[in-house]
Structures are given as structure tokens and as C-alpha cells.
């Protein structure tokens, strides 16, 4: 089942720092220092990404001649300097410089371009509500933006930032506007990239789709190799997911040195992570570790990205295979932290988009309400000059208007509350979502610890669920999930917490329950799942599940440790044949050997252990 935004590794320059680039022209020598500064500024602006080294050289020349530039030229130079600061990853400094350009330059075109880049800086700093608010203002100004470059930046920014919020249909629409605008023909590469990226992340095209080839060709034609290699990353990602790791390695290594020469950490981290995953799939442990460590070495401090999460996951798998359990546990914990941070960041972007959307709607309604109130005041003045009977009729009309305004405001508030409620439930099964389950279970464990009460955590995973999806399709897979959940719910108590951690993995928190009781109840649930009656399209599908049980009397009242021990028990259940309940701690199974004929089980359970506290089973 395709997960929207599943790749989500690379939004070029964190979204739009490249959007200031004109079409890539052929490389040229730097203009002589005596040349008209306006010409040099145009040339530097045009080659920011197609010839970055020359761009830096031109910036140096312009900085030396700063005193002789006009006020407008100085502001434009300041914008290019801010762009370069952001390109280098100094986002706080870039944010300050861009804000000053927006507030003080007085140049509408430059203000539009600076605002577009500033939206990305705010996004990088996780100021998502502020970023979406500015983006909304930028979109509203689009009809009045005449300068092609400024218009391109606004459209490109909208396309990329909306894709980050999961609004792929809107993002694709703004990308198409770039492609349809004859004045923006020089940006066909970027427009194709934005559109293909949104379509790929939404699952509407595959990595082998001809549209990807056309996008890469467009970037070749315009000398935008950075964008072309970003698209190749999409193709390699798809090849790995389809089990063609050899093709992914060949493609990535063919362009690796070129990507390295860009000195752009985000794209290099994307290639390193993909190579680490591909080599792991090939069984080349040494190369997998090398490229995973390369991703960590170039990671931006205090940020979460899917590349970082996947690198830790590969290192965890490597150390587990090599039997280095302390190192594996350390990488496992770092993976959980990075994956949780990344997923929380994705959720924060989506919620921020919906929040700003609701706020803008509420603001619009408030403005409408104020306008109506002004109309009411004017009508009231007229009513003073009419007789009492007519006055009563007008007042009744006005009260009706006010009541309708109050009704629409109430409906807006109700939709906001409904959106918050939906965030706590899994859309397919109706049980608690992963984050809501983790929050509720963590709170319940703190209460249990204070009252010295026992509790247990049960993790269950449907056996060979990927084979069901591959053999019968995702629609049947969804039916299997919902029927398995229904079977579980018949054996839950009122105070039990039941949540979906991701994919086919679920968790049950049992308060006031001993280990023996939890094992008995888990066994009943296991039997209920295996005895689930199948009919219709699912009559040929066999459903079984493996269970891992952990209790507070051995693991303590920390959810993270309970998760680790329950996942270890689940791993042992998978390793020892599936369709069984296993209770124990990580230390109970540390010395267990994996037989060769159980390799597929250890891989499936290993993936589960990597997601103990906030992950997703694919």
C-alpha cells in the first residue's frame, strides 16, 4: 500500500532555494570586473545552480564593487548573498537577511522572490504556520506578479511546499502552471521536476514511468544536472522498493561523483542513503555500513530527515547481522528517535497547513461579519427615521443575518474540532493512531508506576502480510487488516488501549494485568485471528499473527523499554515459526541464533524491532 510522502527525502534546497535560478545556460567565463554591474548581476542570477563555482566568483567581484552600485543593484546583490547563505545551510542568518529585503527594499519583484525563499527558511526552522501564512499571501499576489522570475519562484514555492504538506494535487497544479506559461519556458526542467515529484510521492506514477524520462531529458537540455540527479534518486528509490537493488547501485554510482561535486549535503545524503539501502538488499554489509555512515557524517545537527532515520536503520541491521548487540541496540535507539522526529515533523507540516487554512477561513468570515455589522449600523440609523412597525421588521432581518453569521462560525469551529479528533484515529481500522497510542500508553504507565500496579504490553504482527498484498492486492490486504482488528476487539477490556503502529503491526496496552494473564489473553486473541471466518474475495487468504508480550514486573514502567522487550519477544515468535505468543525480555533472546531457513522471518521481525517506539512496517 503506497504511503503518501513515503520517500520525502529531498526537496531541493529544502524546497525553493534553487527557485531563484534562471534556466541553465552554457557555462561562460566570468565577465570582466569593468562590465556593467547590472549585466553581472543578471549573469550571476542566471547561473546560480548551473555553474555554482562561477556564481561564487561573480559574487566576490560584485562585493568588491559594492560601493559603486546603485541602491537597486545593492538590494539585488543582498538577495543573492542571502540566497548563498541559505544554500550553505546558515538558515538563521539567511532568514534575517531575507526579512530585511522584504521589509525595506521597496522592489515588488525582489520582495516576491525574497518572500518565496523566506518561506523555505521558515519551513526549515519548523515555523510551519508562519511559512504557510506567508505562502498563502504569496499565492494571493500571483495575479499581480508580472516579472517571470518572481512568478516562477512563487509558483515553484507553492508546488514544493504544498507537496511537503501532503497536498499533492494542489502541488501538481502549480507545477503545471509553470509548464503552461510560455514566459517560463526556460524553467521546463524545474516545472517537470516539481510535477513528477508530486506525482511520484502521491503514487500516481512509478519510477519507470516515461514522464520521469521526459523530466530528466528536460533538465539535461537546460544544463540542470542537480535536478536531473534528484530525479534519478526517485528512480533508484523505486528500483530498491521493487527488489532491483543492482539497478539502483549501477544508476547511483554512475552519477555519484557528479553529485558529490555539487557540495550540496541534502542531495548527497539522499544518494548515500539509497546506496546504503541498496547494498544492504544485496547483502554487502561493508558497503551498506560505509554509505550509511556517510549519511550520518553530513547530517545537519538538530534536524530530522528520513535519510537520517533510514541510515540508522541500515546500521542497526548491519550490527544485528554481525552479532554486535550493544552497537545494534545503540543504533536501534537512535533510529527510533530519528524516525519519530521525522514522522512528527511530517505530521506538524500537515497540521500546520490545515490550521492556517482554517484560520484564513475564519479570518475571512470575521471580515465578512465586520462588513455585515457595518451594514447593520447603517441600517439602524435609517430605522430611527421610520415608524416602529417598520423598525421591528428591519431588526428581525438583522438578527437573522447575525444568527447566520454565528451559525457559520460555529460550523467552522466544529470542523476544526473534527479535524483534531480524526488525528487520533487510524483511518482504515478505526483504532488509535500510532502517536495517540504512544501518548496514552505513556500517560497510563506513569499512573500505574505511581500506584505500583502491574501492566503489560502486547505487540502483534500479521504473518506474511506482504505476501498477501503481493498475491491478492492492497484492497484484499485492507480487508484482512480490518477483519483481524475486529477479531482482536472481541477480546479487549474497556480500559485496554488498542493502536495501530503502522502497516500490519498493532499494540495492546493492558493495565492491571499480570504477565500470565496477558499471555493467556494474547493466546485467545491469536486463536481468534486464526479462526476468523473468511468469505467473498478473502476466502483463499489465511490469517495468522505472532505476538510478543512484555510486562512491567520485568521491564519496568518505561514505555520505551516495554516496546523493546515486546519487539524482542515478537522477533522470537517470528523466528521460531510464527503464529504463537512469546513472553520475555531482550536479554532472553540476545544469544538466539537465526537458522538459514528462517531468514525471511528474521528480516520481517527485524524490521518490526526497528520501529518499536514510532516506526512503520512496510
3-state secondary structure 317-350: HHHHHHCCHHHHHHHHHHHHHHHHHHHHHHHHHH
Task: Please give the pLDDT value at position 10.
Answer: 43
- Reported as a single tens digit per residue, the pLDDT across 190-217 is 999 999 988 988 888 888 899 988 999 9
pLDDT greater than 80 at residue 38: yes
Q: Which one has a higher pLDDT value, 567 or 52? A: 567
Average pLDDT over residues 386-415: 78
Give the Cβ contact number of residue 270 at 10 Å: 27
- The set of residues, in sequence order, having a beta carbon less than 8 Å from that of 57 and lying 6+ positions away, is 30
Question: Percent of the chain, pLDDT > 70?
Answer: 85
pLDDT greater than 50 at residue 533: yes
Q: 123: burial class by Cβ within 10 Å (0-12, 13-18, 19+)?
A: buried
Task: Please give the pLDDT value at position 550.
Answer: 96
Helix, coil or strand: residue 425:
strand
Identify the helix (H) or strand (E) that includes residue 510: strand 505-511
Predicted model pTM = 0.51
- Reported as a single tens digit per residue, the pLDDT across 305-354 is 788 889 999 999 999 999 999 988 998 998 888 888 777 777 777 787 77
Region of poorest pLDDT, from 127-141, 163-177, 382-396, 456-470: 382-396
Indicate the pLDDT class of residue 581, thresholds 50, 70 and 90.
very high
C-alpha–C-alpha distance, residues 335 and 306, integer Å? 10
C-alpha distances in angstroms, 366 versus 352, 370, 377?
20, 6, 16
C-alpha–C-alpha distance, residues 322 and 22, integer Å? 50
Q: Which one has a higher pLDDT value, 431 or 52? A: 431
Q: Are the C-beta atoms of residues 27 and 52 closer than 8 Å to each other?
A: no
Q: Are the C-beta atoms of residues 194 and 159 closer than 8 Å to each other?
A: yes
pLDDT greater than 60 at residue 29: no
Task: Please give the pLDDT value at position 605.
Answer: 42
Task: Please give the pLDDT value at position 545.
Answer: 96
Rg of the chain's alpha carbons, rounded to an integer? Answer: 29
DSSP state, residue 280: H
Q: Which one has a higher pLDDT value, 581 or 171? A: 581
What is the rounded (10 degree) CA torsion for 155, 160, 164, 166?
A: 60
C-alpha–C-alpha distance, residues 53 and 44, integer Å? 10
pLDDT greater than 80 at residue 11: no
* Alpha-carbon dihedral sign for residues 351, 356, 359, 361: negative
Residue 114 is placed in which grid cell? 525574497
C-alpha distances in angstroms, 567 versus 317, 346, 440?
15, 25, 19
Average pLDDT over residues 548-573: 95
- Which range scores top for mean pLDDT: 7-16, 17-26, 96-105, 530-539? 96-105
Indicate the pLDDT class of residue 20, thresholds 50, 70 and 90.
very low
Question: Rounded to 5 degrees, what angle do the CA atoms 182, 185, 189 make?
Answer: 145
- Reported as a single tens digit per residue, the pLDDT across 420-433 is 666 788 889 999 99
C-alpha–C-alpha distance, residues 211 and 540, integer Å? 37
- Reported as a single tens digit per residue, the pLDDT across 480-531 is 999 999 999 999 999 999 999 999 999 999 999 999 999 999 999 999 998 8
- Which range scores top for mean pLDDT: 46-60, 66-80, 126-140? 66-80
- Reported as a single tens digit per residue, the pLDDT across 291-300 is 999 988 877 6
Task: Please give the pLDDT value at position 539.
Answer: 63
What are the backbone dihedrals phi and psi of residue 612, each rounded to the nearest 5 degrees, phi first? -55, -35
Indicate the pLDDT class of residue 12, thresholds 50, 70 and 90.
very low
Task: Please give the pLDDT value at position 535.
Answer: 59
Task: Please give the pLDDT value at position 14.
Answer: 45
- Which range scores top for mean pLDDT: 338-342, 415-419, 455-459? 455-459
Amino acid at each position: 500500500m503506497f504511503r503518501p510522502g513515503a520517500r520525502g527525502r529531498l526537496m531541493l534546497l529544502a524546497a525553493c532555494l534553487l527557485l531563484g535560478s534562471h534556466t541553465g545556460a552554457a557555462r561562460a567565463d566570468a565577465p570582466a570586473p569593468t562590465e556593467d554591474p547590472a549585466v553581472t548581476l543578471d549573469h550571476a542570477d542566471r547561473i546560480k545552480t548551473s555553474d555554482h563555482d562561477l556564481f561564487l566568483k561573480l559574487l566576490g567581484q560584485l562585493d568588491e564593487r559594492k560601493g559603486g552600485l546603485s541602491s537597486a543593484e545593492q538590494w539585488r546583490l543582498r538577495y543573492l548573498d542571502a540566497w548563498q547563505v541559505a544554500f550553505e545551510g546558515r538558515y538563521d542568518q539567511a532568514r534575517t537577511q531575507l526579512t530585511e529585503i522584504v521589509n525595506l527594499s521597496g522592489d515588488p519583484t525582489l520582495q516576491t522572490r525574497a518572500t518565496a525563499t523566506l518561506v523555505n527558511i521558515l519551513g526549515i526552522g519548523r515555523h510551519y504556520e508562519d511559512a504557510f501564512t506567508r505562502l498563502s499571501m504569496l499565492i494571493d499576489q500571483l495575479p499581480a506578479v508580472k516579472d517571470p522570475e518572481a512568478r516562477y519562484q512563487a509558483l515553484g514555492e507553492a508546488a514544493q511546499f504544498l507537496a511537503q504538506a501532503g497536498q499533492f494535487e494542489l502541488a501538481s497544479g502549480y507545477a503545471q502552471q509553470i509548464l503552461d506559461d510560455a514566459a517560463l519556458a526556460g524553467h521546463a526542467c524545474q516545472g517537470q521536476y516539481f510535477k513528477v515529484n508530486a506525482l511520484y510521492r502521491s503514487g500516481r506514477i512509478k519510477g519507470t514511468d516515461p514522464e520521469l524520462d521526459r523530466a530528466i531529458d528536460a533538465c539535461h537540455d537546460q544544463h540542470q544536472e542537480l535536478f536531473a540527479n534528484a530525479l534519478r534518486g526517485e528512480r533508484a528509490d523505486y528500483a530498491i522498493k521493487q527488489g532491483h537493488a543492482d539497478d539502483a547501485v549501477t544508476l547511483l554510482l554512475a552519477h555519484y561523483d557528479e553529485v558529490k561535486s555539487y557540495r550540496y549535503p541534502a542531495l548527497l545524503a539522499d544518494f548515500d542513503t539509497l546506496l546504503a539501502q541498496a547494498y544492504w538488499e544485496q547483502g554487502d554489509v561493508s558497503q551498506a555500513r560505509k554509505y550509511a555512515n556517510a549519511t550520518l557524517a553530513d547530517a545537519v545537527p538538530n534536524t530530522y530527515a528520513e535519510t537520517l532515520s533510514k541510515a540508522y536503520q541500515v546500521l542497526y541491521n548491519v550490527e544485528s547481522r554481525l552479532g554486535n548487540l550493544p552497537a545494534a541496540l545503540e543504533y536501534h535507539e537512535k533510529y527510533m528517535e530519528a524516525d519519530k522526529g521525522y514522522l512528527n515533523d511530517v505530521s506538524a507540516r500537515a497540521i500546520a497547513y490545515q490550521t492556517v487554512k482554517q484560520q484564513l477561513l475564519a479570518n475571512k468570515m470575521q471580515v465578512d461579519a465586520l462588513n455585515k455589522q457595518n451594514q447593520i449600523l447603517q441600517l439602524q440609523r435609517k430605522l430611527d427615521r421610520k415608524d416602529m412597525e417598520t423598525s421591528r421588521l428591519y431588526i428581525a432581518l438583522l438578527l437573522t443575518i447575525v444568527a447566520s453569521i454565528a451559525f457559520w462560525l460555529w460550523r467552522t469551529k466544529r470542523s476544526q474540532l473534527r479535524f483534531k479528533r480524526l488525528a487520533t484515529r487510524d483511518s482504515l481500522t478505526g483504532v488509535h493512531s500510532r502517536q495517540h497510542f504512544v501518548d496514552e500508553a505513556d500517560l497510563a504507565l506513569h499512573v500505574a508506576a505511581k500506584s505500583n500496579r502491574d501492566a503489560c504490553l502486547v505487540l502483534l504482527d500479521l504473518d506474511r502480510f506482504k505476501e498477501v498484498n503481493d498475491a491478492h492486492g492492497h484492497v484484499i490486504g485492507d480487508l484482512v487488516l480490518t477483519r483481524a482488528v475486529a477479531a482482536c476487539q472481541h477480546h479487549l477490556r474497556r480500559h485496554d488501549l488498542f493502536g495501530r503502529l503502522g502497516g500490519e503491526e498493532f499494540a495492546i496496552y493492558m493495565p492491571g494485568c499480570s504477565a500470565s494473564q496477558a499471555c493467556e489473553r494474547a493466546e485467545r486473541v491469536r486463536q481468534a485471528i486464526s479462526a476468523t471466518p473468511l468469505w467473498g474475495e478473502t476466502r483463499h487468504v489465511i490469517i495468522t499473527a505472532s505476538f510478543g508480550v512484555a510486562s512491567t514486573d520485568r521491564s519496568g514502567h518505561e514505555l520505551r523499554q516495554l516496546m523493546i522487550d515486546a519487539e524482542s519477544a515478537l522477533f522470537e515468535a517470528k523466528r521460531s515459526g510464527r503464529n504463537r505468543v512469546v513472553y520475555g525480555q531482550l536479554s532472553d533472546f540476545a544469544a538466539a541464533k537465526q537458522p538459514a531457513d528462517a531468514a525471511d522471518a528474521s528480516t520481517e521481525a527485524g524490521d518490526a524491532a526497528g520501529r518499536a517506539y514510532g516506526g512503520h512496517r512496510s
